[in-house]
């Protein structure tokens, strides 16, 4: 069994991005600039945002964190997005989800200029991905593929089972795994909450991606010997033994499942850090596309 170490791999990726940024700056260009909008006081969102800002510093990017109270109106938020869309010094920006209920997330996502949409959630970017022409690819799925690539996990002709069909993880990762890419060419089965006989399907997986958000849902009896298991889940579970008061749990019962696997990602330290590194990579890509 080999751990797919997302922490170590993301550090290597960030060092490569840093080297590219340093070379750009040395050649007289400005560093890429990522802006992020955070609405409200959601604890998990604040942690993700702080990690993103920290990563920007590590790779030599400029960053702007724009915080609003959850009383901000949709109109005010849209006005800020228009401003960022038009600002030539901003290469990419993200609006951290979830947003308060009075704000229409679909409208917000669609108002971001596709070329600055470094989360890759805009319908134009999702459509390009579906057509095999993706450039700004959602960071979590892109991070999973990067991990498979860097550990040389075979994918061609394998049966990949993805549990979860969200627009930010399940759907894009299934498109990438089935696409004609170096780390694609899988035969993909996508499962969701209405899937019948789920364990029967997951047991057929050479590559199993768990992206449902239910801690330790994937148990050892659902995994075949020698499988590669990618655990996307991040759930905060109350834990009084931790200083923070919570522990982070994945969707896979790691202790029981890992001994059966050829490769497996841990939580934390697997897909999570790769997501942030790929967001940095998308920002650099957005800048390069703009510069032509």
In this complex, which beta carbon is closest to ligand NDP, that of residue 24 or of residue 141?
A: 141
Q: Which of 94, 106, 91 is CA-nearest to residue 45?
A: 94
What letter does residue 252 receive in the DSSP assignment? B
Query: Among 84-92, 126-134, 168-176, 256-264, which window interacts with ligand NDP (CB under 6 A)?
Result: 168-176
Helix, strand, coil share of the chain (percent; to 5): 45, 15, 40
170 binds ligand NDP (CB under 6 A): yes
The reply on whether position 141 binds ligand NDP by CB under 6 A is no
Report the SS3 class of residue 230: strand
Asked if 169 touches ligand NDP (CB under 6 A), the answer is yes
Distance CA(83)–CA(78), nearest Å, equals 9
Secondary structure, 3-state, 263-289 = EECCCCCCHHHHHHHHHHHHHHHHHHH
Residue 271 binds ligand NDP (CB under 6 A): yes
In whole angstroms, give the CA distance from residue 166 to residue 180.
Answer: 22
Where in the sequence numbering do the catalytic residues fall? 52, 96, 119
Query: Please, what is the minimum distance in Å from the beta carbon of residue 171 to ligand NDP?
Result: 9
- Which residue of 272, 278, 283, 286 would you call a contact of ligand NDP, by CB under 6 A? 272
164 is a contact residue toward ligand NDP (CB under 6 A): yes
Query: Residue 214 or 256: which CB sits closer to ligand NDP?
Result: 214
Q: How far apart are CA 181 and CA 129, in angstroms?
A: 12
User: Phi/psi zone of residue 235: left (φ > 0), alpha (ψ -120 to 50 degrees), beta?
Assistant: beta
**Residue given tokens 């890992």 in the structure block:** 258
Binding residues for ligand NDP, total number by CB under 6 A: 25
Peptide bond before residue 98 is cis, with ω within 30 degrees of 0: yes
Query: Minimal distance in Å, beta carbon 156 to ligand NDP?
Result: 25
C-beta closer to ligand NDP: residue 62 or 149: 149
Nearer Cβ to ligand NDP (154/268): 268
Site for ligand NDP in 12-71 (CB under 6 A): none
Q: Does 135 bind ligand NDP (CB under 6 A)?
A: no
Cβ atoms of residues 284 and 20 within 8 Å: yes
Instruction: Specify the 3-state DSSP secondary structure of 132.
Output: coil
Binding mask 214-243 for ligand NDP (x = CB under 6 A): x-----------------xxxx--------
Q: Does 203 bind ligand NDP (CB under 6 A)?
A: no
Chain residues in the site for ligand NDP (CB under 6 A): 140, 163-166, 168-170, 191-195, 198, 211-214, 232-235, 271-272, 275
């Amino acid at each position: 069994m080999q751990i797919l170490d997302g922490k170590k791999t993301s550090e290597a990726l960030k060092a490569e991005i840093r080297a590219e940024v340093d070379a750009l700056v040395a050649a007289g260009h400005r560093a890429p600039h990522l802006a992020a909008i955070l609405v409200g006081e959601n604890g998990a969102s604040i942690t993700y945002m702080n990690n993103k800002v920290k990563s920007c510093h590590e790779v030599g990017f400029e960053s702007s964190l724009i915080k609003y109270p959850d009383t901000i109106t949709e109109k005010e938020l849209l006005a800020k997005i228009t401003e960022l869309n038009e600002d030539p010094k901003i290469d990419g920006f993200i609006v951290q989800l979830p947003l308060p209920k009075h704000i229409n997330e679909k409208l917000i996502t669609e108002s971001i200029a596709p070329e600055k949409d470094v989360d890759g959630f805009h319908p134009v970017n999702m459509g390009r991905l579906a057509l095999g022409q993706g450039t700004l690819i959602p960071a979590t799925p892109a991070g999973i593929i990067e991990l498979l690539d860097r550990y040389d996990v075979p994918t061609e002709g394998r049966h990949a089972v993805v549990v979860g069909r969200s627009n930010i993880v399940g759907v894009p990762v299934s498109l990438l795994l089935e696409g004609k890419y170096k780390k694609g060419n899988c035969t993909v089965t996508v499962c969701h909450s209405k899937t019948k006989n789920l364990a029967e399907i997951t047991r057929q997986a050479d590559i199993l991606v768990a992206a449902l958000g239910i801690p330790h849902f994937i148990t050892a009896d659902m995994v075949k010997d020698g499988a590669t298991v990618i655990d996307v889940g991040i759930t905060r579970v109350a834990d009084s033994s931790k200083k923070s008061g919570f522990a982070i749990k994945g969707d896979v019962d790691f202790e029981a499942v890992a001994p059966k696997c050829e490769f497996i990602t841990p939580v934390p330290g697997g897909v999570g850090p790769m997501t942030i590194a790929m967001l940095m990579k998308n920002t650099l890509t957005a800048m390069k596309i703009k510069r032509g």
